[in-house]
Amino acid sequence: MEINEKTRAGKHLTELLVKTYTDIHTRAAAGAFVVWGAIIVPAEIFAGFDNVVFCAPESHAAVCAAKGVGAAQCLKAEALGYSMDLCSYARIDIGCFSDGGKESPTMGLPRPHLLVSNTNNCSLLVKWFDVHRRDMDIPHFILDVPFCYGPQQEKDRDYILTQFGDLIQTVEQLSGQKFDRDRFYEAAAHTASASMDWKRFMACAEHRPSGITVFDSFVQMAPFLIARGTPELAAHYKILADETEANVKAGIFPVPDEKYRLLWDNIAPWHQLRKMSTRLAAMGANIVAAPYTSCIGAVEGSYDLLSFEENDDPLWYLARVQNHSVCPMGMDLRLSSMGPVIEKLGIDGVVFASNRSCKVFSVMQMDEQRRVREQYGIPCVMIDVDHADVRKFSQENVYVRLEALLESIEAKRAV
């Protein structure tokens, strides 16, 4: 298979994304209650209402970056006085909103009635969404999710559940709609089913050569961010897992001459996906996984899927996975989620991508790099990236370091 040939799942992904963003605008124009929420906010809750639309500004910013308009949107925000040092997701979102979604591949996002941020994914989110609160004069609900240095404590989970109840009441009051628990349960079940198939897809990386690249998982995680709680999400991930498993059985691999199996630590460099995947494949290198995508469906510090059947209450399930996204984990938890991936996938080296936009993801990486070298005895490298602002990315510097990593792996093998 040619590396750029679009698969059935790839075509279905395009159709799903187009449909989702089209529906968002269509329903909003017809009078739906619109929520802008952080990507870790449980979108399934909003599916429990008859006519509530959920939009994820972070995911929209990633789409802008992947489509090559991220820097242009950042410039608009910077012209308004926002520092270039701020997260590029925030700058893209603010810049896009400032002129009504011009240059956005999705025509921007419909104007919200409610903002919902959280404290566990990124401390900047609260300030970022507060910019919109002031500009649009609309309510801003903040989910306060405690940081985890160990397994989530029951008191913290109860605290999160109380806030979920408050969020439901807030939407009821503002939208005039009643929360339907049966609809919500069905939505949560769709997400749980999708998570099971996501893990099947990710498990294809265990084969040698790997059945996937990390760039596949970066692209294919998009529905999880914008379509959680929908039957379309569950259907798509079944198609994805089935097709990928069939390709492995048929001997079809994205990097058939795979010599180096690498792990990526951080958010995707959205503006470099195709360039980086193609260049690495030419060197026989395959970045096969990243904690950023392998954490989906798991809990803090774990790679394994959390069973939807573990508790009768789907709100409990959603509260339990609130710390899954790496950023709200202490050092030991990050390493305990990374370790099984290194061992199970036979990782030869780790690429720590120091992300100029995501400080909270990057702040521990120097210590992580040292501990991975000590505990697993594999080479590591640190590169500088920005997940959405291409102006902060140097191809020359990045590939010099990546080539040095491959040389280190070869030197280790020769000993």
Amino acid 5: pLDDT: 66
Calculate mean pLDDT across residues 106-124. 94
Please report the pLDDT score of residue 309 as a whole number: 87
Give the rounded percent of residues in the chain with a pLDDT score beyond 70. Answer: 99
**For the chain, what is the mean pLDDT?**
95
Mean pLDDT calculated for residue range 180-196: 97
Burial of residue 156, with CB atoms counted within 10 A of its CB: 0-12 exposed, 13-18 middle, 19 or more buried: middle
Of 9-18, 294-303, 404-413, the poorest mean pLDDT is in 294-303
- Domain at 183-414, CATH from 1.20.1200.10, 3.30.2320.30, 3.30.300.30, 3.40.50.11900: 3.40.50.11900
Q: Domain extents for the chain?
A: 8-180, 183-414
Structure token digits, residue 2 = 């040619």
Cα angle at 45 between 216 and 96, to 5 degrees?
60
**Structure tokens, 96:** 């896009």
Kindly report the number of other CB atoms within 10 A of residue 145's CB atom: 22
Model confidence over 282-321: pLDDT tens digits?
Answer: 999 999 999 999 999 999 988 899 999 888 899 999 999 9
* Same fold across 8-180 and 183-414: yes
Query: What confidence tens digit (pLDDT) does each residue in 317-336 have?
Result: 999 999 988 888 999 999 99
- Section 256-263 average pLDDT: 98
Q: How far apart are alpha carbons 34 and 54 in whole angstroms?
A: 6
Is the pTM higher than 0.85? yes
Using alpha carbons only, what angle is made at residue 37 by residues 34 and 43, rounded to the nearest 5 degrees?
85
pLDDT at 4 over 60: no
pLDDT at 3 over 50: no
Which tokens sit at 251? 């001997």
Instruction: Tell the CATH topology of 8-180.
Output: Rossmann fold (3.40.50)
